[in-house]
Amino acid sequence: MPDSSFYAVPAVLLSTMWADQQSALHPQGTQAGLSAETAWVMFVAGAAIFLLVMAILALAILGPERLRRHLAGRAMLVEAGIVFPVAVLSTLLIYSLGIAAAMLRADAPAAVRIEVTGEMWWWRVRYLDDDGQVLFETANEIRIPVDQPVDLALASRNVVHSFWVPNLAGKLDMVPGHVNRMRLHATQAGRYRGQCAEYCGAQHANMMFDIQVLAGPDFQAWLQSQRRPAAPPGDADGRLRQGRQVFLQACARCHAVRGTLAAGTVGPDLTHVGGRLSLGAGMLPNNVGTLAGWIAGSQHIKPGNGMPAFDHLSGEQLRAVAHYMESLQ
Amino acid sequence: MRPGTPSAPPRALPHPLPRPDGEQAHLERIWQRPRGWRAITVVNNNYIGLLYIGTALLFFLLAGVLALLMRAQLAVPDNDLIGHDLYNQLFTMHGTVMMFLFAVPAVEAMAVLLLPNMLGARDLPFPRLSSYAYWAYAIGGLVFFCSIFVGLAPDGGWFMYPPLTSSAYSPALNADLWLLGIGFIEISAIAGAIELAVGILRTRAPGMTLDKMPIFAWIMLAFSGMVIIAFPAVIVATALLELERAFGLPFFMADKGGDPLLWQHLFWLFGHPEVYIIFLPAAGMVSMIIPAMAGRPLVGYRLVVMAIVATSFLSFGLWVHHMFATGIPQLSLSFASAASMAVSIPTGVQVFAWIATIAAAPRLRPLKTPMLFILGFFFIFVLGGLTGVMVAVIPFDWQAHDTYFVVAHLHYVLVGGMVFPLFAAFYYWMPFVSRRALSERLGRWAFWLMFVGFNVGFFPMHLTGLAGMPRRVYTYADQYGWGLLNMVSTVGAYLIAAGVLVFLIDLARNFRPSVEHNAGNVWQAGTLEWLPAGVAGPRSVPWVSSREPLWDQPGLAADVQAGRYYLPGAPTGGRSTLVTGAIDARPQYLLRLPGPGWPPVLAAVGTAGFFLLLTGKLMVPAALFGVLAIAMILRWLWDTDPAPDRAPVDVGGGLRLPVSCVGSASHSWWAMVMLVMVCASIFCALLFAYLFLWTTSPDVWPAPAALAAVPWPLASSVLLAGSSALAWAGGRGLRHGRQGCLRIALPLGALMLAAAVGLEADAQWRAGLRPQDHAYAAAVYALIGLQGTLAIAVAFMSLFTTARSWAGKLGAARRACLDNTTLLWHYTAVQGLVGTLVLHGFPRWTGLA
Amino acid sequence: MNAPRIAILLPWLAGPLTWAAHFVLVYAANGVFCARPAWHGLWVDAALSAWVLSAAAVLAIAVIALVYWRQRARWPRTDDAGFFPRVAGALSLLAILAIVWQTLPVWWVPACQSG
């Protein structure tokens, strides 16, 4: 069947109206490609059937007498109301079963294993090795190699969430008490967005994440850098050391930075937060200003989220800790 | 004699000679509605139906305003018009009010208003029940809606998924308000459904065999069946969640063996049939309006009946399609996908039957307003049905689920499939309830604004959803480019509002409610509701020999009005209507109907107050309202089953009918059978919960050694069987005229029934099981709790029956009370035995496997 | 009384009722089967389950056909002469179609894998 580049044509035609970062109509992965193919087939067929039915209705009202008499007959009712739908739906059923079976085929072993746990309202991401041991933990961001199968284990220990990256695959829920597994197979490098797709409370609307698909060597480089603990700030850098001091006092109870004494697990792991693509589960760009803004006023940005506002820190402390976090690349 | 030979129509009219003077005035006096402040005690279906539809329309407007607020917030990205807290309450209330307080009540209201007249009956069979159901819904619904003004509105979505709605994540009262408030409104809907079903089956005009029944009646019969089977699932779900929130029984808590998916299964087992419960009556109205406007009977009547019955059954197999993204095994999902496709066949049959009828029409043009709304329905609903087939395809649904694509689909099928037919019905049946019809000019404006507004508003959402916008989000970022699509949708929503406003203006200008002086058969339609009007329904009950009696039976209207058919007066001195056979529609007896009264209204106030105060944890006031409700219900029931001391009455044509009926042919027995079906559905839902939890959390199931010893369930089974035997003995005694046996057997039997439950609970307790331990324990105690609830109900009924016996209100020919009680009694005993077998047998059987 | 009883509606609804029973059966069977991998191979395995579910479909279709055949001379008489038998026949055919459709997946789709 055609690969995802086939859909570039209709996608380009439609993309005047919106961006393609979080769109099911711009498939960049195998599963999303199959879903998109199904969508186009059904859209074309559905549009044709709709126009046909409306035409018949119009003819039933406005058409010539002979045609109207034919439309009023039992034969028409049986053909249009039973025979035609049975034929079309039988075909559709078999077609859809074939697509579903193709999507579930998981022949090759996974190149990468990731466990994603839904929190309120952010994503806890753990990369695992082949035995299921944790390599490292990060948050709100997933990077995967292109053209290789990636297995995800989706879980939640609070409410029901749903993991959805429309460019790559359909969604799968994260249900407390269950571990749902899905396979991603990206076919195009790039940066995409995902969003929680099951209403999970106050800030469900602001539970997004970044997913970056990298070429193989780039992915390996990133993986290795993530496994390393945070580099300590140099002796010459007073502000960074002050920042680290503030961090250990104010933030370590909830956050972890490997390589320091901070080992809190309530909030996202911040070991390499400086290198992330966004902050606040996809809400803000990542720079010193937004870091400071989030720390001081997260309750204004994402009211009700689990982090209190640290507006009691002085301006100097805030700048220091923000610079420190920016340095955690 | 071969069974089922229909009796021939009367050779002559039942009353060929002119009726005596004053008979019609006497009839109208008896059926006159109460005036002044007593007006709220009205029980006649015409008035209750009008109140009902008016209240439903009010909720439509209120929920619509909530939607306008939501659309205002979503018009631009990163909007701060409405914060997350209020927005989450808005979308929860919009969905909840539209589904529970508008859609189902509106279609039930149309049936209450139209069906008796359409069937040739004077009223529904249980008028006080209609009044009770209406007032409970109105009071409860309005109080529930007002919660949004005090920040107490539920905010968990209309589908209220735990664990978000468990006490850990929704500690405040808001969720309890939804659970208790909606829970009891469902009870009101079930009461209405039972009454409609009995009315459709047993109070049709003579000669109106099933093959001549109006399609709307077939549909409401299917509707009632669906409500009876489906609503118990949501009642069980809400009860379980409330037990978890209030008492910590962990049905949905994963760390104690519960499963959030249990709620989803129970909710959607109700939720999917619910949308067909909403759509089918609207389709039924379309099936009545098109033939009338077209001047031609419906083409393919039999196929349409098949389609109605098939849809009502098949819709129960679709619930999993709301859960395609939950990780359920693929094959299980595929069963639902296949069933979802199967259900579109009967829908297609109906669509083409309508198109065929339109094609056969001699007089459709110029198109009048009802037909405009029907054409709008075709356009919108067919489009929605096609996107429905799309989301039934699993690989597509995995992208579309929980996005604005589904918001588009559901509004296309619900607004297209229910609201547009409803507006068509308003314009079509207005002459039935009003001195003046509505305006054609304003109707056109209303239609075009609503039609264009709807498509402008909702069509873009198909794209918005596939472009990545999930549902239930209070805002969205600019970067995705959804801003333009959302703005267009908001403009469309306000256009719809403009159209509805035009309709309201039309209503204010032209709606002048009147039952006796309505505008008449403006459309030259063929069905019985268009007979000359009166407070008592038709002046006399006609013999029906066609599906469109007013078209095929010449002079029918004049003959009915002159009293030449059956029951032209009030021979019992009170309100009455004919009861006929369900299959052959032959007159069987005269049903004496009650007039206006306070008990149903006060009982509704009591019921609403009880549930709402319970939500607020105000126990003493709640208890007082509960006592009021029970007292009023007992007062009302005390008046039922009057003494059979009247001689059979001449209703015309030489027919002398008894004025009461004893045994399994009685209408009250049939209602009781349906109530038992509701109870059985509740029990099956709870059994499902038990078995489902066993599949997902076998680790909390006990080993056979940990169970209570076998003598315990044996003893409680003996008590159950024994109580049933006592009830049977009491009944037998009454048949032979002996009351003494009954007066001892019933209370004793009730005690045994209660003791059986107590013994079971005690056995579990002694085995060390506590309800909060884990999901297995919770399920066990829930089953016991259900049994206990029924035992209490039966105990009440048995004491009531005994009291009637002492008061001389029970006899060999006056025994509805006893018959109904023993029916529920035997059911309760059987349920108890099955429950005992499951609780004590299932773990032993699976423990050995 | 010689009047036709309401119970005549039971054979009339044989199609949808049998469909419902079949649906409950296949759904419950697959649900339990997938929830108890430890039982696989004891009394049924994935390959055999397709045959079992197909056999259930054949049985259900046979029941529908049998009930319709037995009932064909026993419908109540109505003015619309073919009403009961025709509607019952149409219901039966649609039920058979639905049973066939909901059995097809067992040959295409893995029993227990999830998406």
Lowest average pLDDT, out of A230-234, B144-148, B466-470, goes to: A230-234
Q: Which helix (H) or strand (E) element contains residue B192?
A: helix B174-202
What stretches of B4-126 show up as alpha helix (H) in DSSP?
23-31, 45-74, 84-96, 104-119
In angstroms, the separation between the Cα of residue A101 and the nearest Cα of chain C is 5
Rounded to an integer, the average pLDDT of B375-387 is 98
Instruction: Say how far apart CA A100 and CA B611 lie, in whole Å.
Output: 46
**Residue A255 distance to chain B (closest CA, Å):** 22
Contacts of C109 in chain A (CB under 8 A): 97, 100-101, 104
Cβ distance A171 to B349 less than 8 Å, yes or no, reads no
Q: Could you give the percent of chain B with pLDDT greater than 70?
A: 99
Nearest to A104 among C97, C105, C113 (CB): C113
Partner-chain contact B470 A197, CB within 8 Å = yes
User: B617: burial class by Cβ within 10 Å (0-12, 13-18, 19+)?
Assistant: exposed
Question: Domain boundary at A85, A104, A123, which?
Answer: A104
Write down the pLDDT at residue A1: 43
ipTM of the complex: 0.96
Query: Can you give the residue range of the structural domain that contains A179?
Result: 112-213
Report if residue B406 sits inside a domain.
no
Residue B185 confidence (pLDDT): 83
Q: Which two tokens stand for residue B587?
A: 């007159």
User: What's the start-to-end Cα distance of chain A, in Å?
Assistant: 41
Which of B299, B332, B393, B455 is best to mutate for the A interface (most A CBs within 10 A)?
B393
Q: Inter-chain contact C112–B331, Cβ cutoff 8 Å?
A: yes
Mean pLDDT of C95-105: 96
pLDDT score at B8: 62
User: What's residue A8's pLDDT?
Assistant: 56
Chain A contacts of B157, Cβ < 8 Å?
A: 199
Structural domain count, chain B: 1
| Contact between C83 and B211 (Cβ < 8 Å) | yes
Q: Do C30 and B211 touch (CB under 8 A)?
A: no
Cα torsion for C95, C98, C100, C101, to the nearest 10°?
A: 170
Residues of C in contact with B342 (CB under 8 A): 94, 97-98, 101-102
Using 50, 70 and 90 to split pLDDT, how confident is the model at C113?
confident
Give the pLDDT mean for B806-815: 92
B554: which DSSP letter? T
pLDDT over 90 at B558, yes or no: yes
| HEC assignment per residue over B404-441 | HHHHHHHHHHHHHHHHHHHHHHHHHHHHHHECCCCCHH
Instruction: Decide: B92 and B156 in contact? Cβ < 8 Å.
Output: yes
CA distance B28 to A55: 51
Mean pLDDT over all residues of chain B?
95
Contacts of C113 in chain B (CB under 8 A): 329-330
- Asked if residue A227 is part of any domain, the answer here is no
> Amino acid letter at A52?
L
- C106 touching B, CB under 8 A? yes
Q: What is the pLDDT of residue C81?
A: 87
pLDDT at position A16 is 47
Tokens 């406003």 identify what position? B501
Instruction: With CB atoms and an 8 Å threshold, state whether B335 touches C94.
Output: no
| Among B699, B686, B801, residue whose Cα is nearest residue B743 | B801
| Ordered per-residue pLDDT tens for chain A, 329 residues | 444 455 555 655 555 455 788 999 999 999 999 999 999 999 999 999 999 999 999 999 999 999 999 999 999 999 999 999 999 999 999 999 999 989 888 778 999 999 999 999 999 999 999 999 999 999 999 999 999 999 999 999 999 999 999 999 999 999 999 999 999 999 999 999 999 999 999 999 999 999 999 999 999 999 999 999 998 887 778 889 999 999 999 999 999 999 999 999 999 999 999 999 999 999 999 999 999 999 999 999 999 999 999 989 999 999 999 999 999 99
* pLDDT digit string, tens, across residues B10-19: 778 999 989 9
Contact C16 B313 (CB under 8 A): yes
More confident residue, B534 or B119: B119
CB-based contact A170 C109, cutoff 8 Å: no
**Contact, B410 vs B467, CB < 8 A?**
no
Nearest to B232 by CA among B198, B270, B258: B270
Pick from B256, B368, B399, B700 the residue to mutate for testing the A interface (most A CBs within 10 Å).
B399
pLDDT at C43: 58
B810 in a structural domain: yes
Of B163, B394, B475, the CB nearest to A96: B394
Statement: residue B456 has pLDDT above 80? yes
Q: Tokens 């920042």 label which residue? A: A243
Q: What is the mean pLDDT of residues B799-821?
A: 94
Residues A123 and A93 in one domain: no
For residue B843, is the peptide bond before it cis, meaning its omega torsion is within 30 degrees of 0? no
Task: Please report, for the domain that includes residue B810, its CATH number.
Answer: 1.20.120.80
Tens digits of per-residue pLDDT, B329-362?
A: 999 999 999 999 999 999 999 999 999 999 999 9
Q: For residue B629, give every residue at least 6 positions away whose Cβ sits within 8 Å of its Cβ, in sequence order, or none.
A: B603, B604, B605, B606, B607, B609, B610
**Contact B419/B377 with Cβ under 8 angstroms?**
no
Quick one: three-class SS letters along B278-317?
HHHHHHHHHHHHHHHHHCCCCCCHHHHHHHHHHHHHHHHH
- State the chains in contact with A (3 or more Cβ–Cβ pairs under 8 Å): B, C
**Which residues on A lie below 8 Å from B325 (Cβ)?**
162, 170-173, 197-198
Model confidence pLDDT, tens digit, residues A114-133: 999 999 999 999 999 999 99
**Each residue of A153-191: pLDDT tens digit?**
999 999 999 999 999 999 999 999 999 999 999 999 999
Predicted local distance difference test score (pLDDT) of residue A7 = 57
A34 touches chain C (CB under 8 A): no
User: What angle (nearest 5°) sits at the alpha carbon of residue B193, between those of residues B187 and B194?
Assistant: 95
Q: What is the pLDDT of residue B706?
A: 87
Q: Which CATH number covers residue A242?
A: 2.60.40.420
Total domains in chain A come to 3
- Which residue, among B426, B358, B438, has the nearest Cα to B57 in the 3D structure? B426
**Which of B174-183, B257-266, B411-420, B837-846 shows the lowest per-residue confidence on average (mean pLDDT)?**
B174-183
Same domain, A208 and A120: yes
pLDDT greater than 60 at residue B302: yes
Interface test with A, best of B78, B86, B337, B352 (most A CBs within 10 A): B352
- Could you say which residues from 80 to 139 on chain A have a Cβ atom under 8 Å away from some Cβ of chain C? 86, 89-90, 93-94, 97-98, 100-101, 103-104
pLDDT of residue C6: 86
In a domain, B699, yes or no: yes
User: Hey, are the CB atoms on B329 and C82 less than 8 Å from each other?
Assistant: no
Q: Which residues of C touch B337 (CB under 8 A)?
A: 105
Whether residue A183 lies inside any domain: the answer is yes
Q: What's the rounded Cα separation, in Å, for the pair B616 and A71? A: 60
Residue C63 to chain B, least CA–CA distance (Å): 17
Is A164's Cβ below 8 Å from some Cβ in B? yes
Least confident of B578-592, B634-648, C2-16: C2-16
Cis peptide before B366 (omega within 30 of 0): yes
Instruction: Please check whether residues A243 and A285 belong to one and the same domain.
Output: yes
Residue B6 has pLDDT above 60, yes or no: no
Coil, strand or helix at B359: helix
Residue A121 preceded by cis peptide, ω within 30: yes
Q: Looking at residue B3, what is its pLDDT?
A: 33
Encoded tokens for B748: 């004793």
Judged against a pLDDT cut of 90, whether residue B113 lies above it is answered with: yes
Residue A220 lies in a domain: no
The minimum CA-CA distance between B489 and chain A, rounded to whole Å, is: 14
Give the tens place of pLDDT for each residue, B21-74: 999 999 999 999 999 999 999 999 999 999 999 999 999 999 999 999 999 999
pLDDT at C1: 41
> 3-state DSSP call for residue A163?
strand
> How far is Cα B493 from Cα B320, in angstroms, rounded to an integer?
31
Residue B796 within any structural domain of the chain? yes
Kindly indicate the confidence band of residue B780, based on its pLDDT and cuts at 50, 70 and 90. very high
pLDDT of residue B492: 98
The C-alpha angle C97, C98, C103, rounded to 5 degrees, equals: 100
Query: Is the domain of A300 the same as that of A265?
Result: yes
Residue B428 has pLDDT above 50, yes or no: yes
Distance between CA atoms of B48 and B42, rounded to whole angstroms? 7
Domain containing B717 equals 684-848
Which pLDDT tens digit goes with each residue over B199-232?
999 999 999 999 999 999 999 999 999 999 999 9
What does the DSSP assignment read for A84-144?
A: HHHHHHHHHHHHHHHHHHHHH---SPPSEEEEEEE-SSSEEEEEE-TTS-EEEEEESEEEE
Could you read off the pLDDT of C27-85 as tens digits, one per residue?
999 999 998 888 776 656 677 788 989 999 999 999 999 999 999 989 998 888 899 99
Q: CA A104 to CA B394: how far, in whole Å?
A: 12
Closest by Cα among B282, B257, B213 to B546: B213
The greatest distance separating any two alpha carbons of chain C, rounded to the nearest whole angstrom, comes to: 59
Contact B342 C98 (CB under 8 A): yes
The last residue of one of the domains, among A41, A76, A104, is A104
Residue range A86-100, pLDDT digits in tens: 999 999 999 999 999
- Tell me what the mean pLDDT of segment B792-802 comes to: 96
> Which is nearest to B265 in space by CA: B336, B183, B217?
B336
Partners of A112 in beta bridges: A150
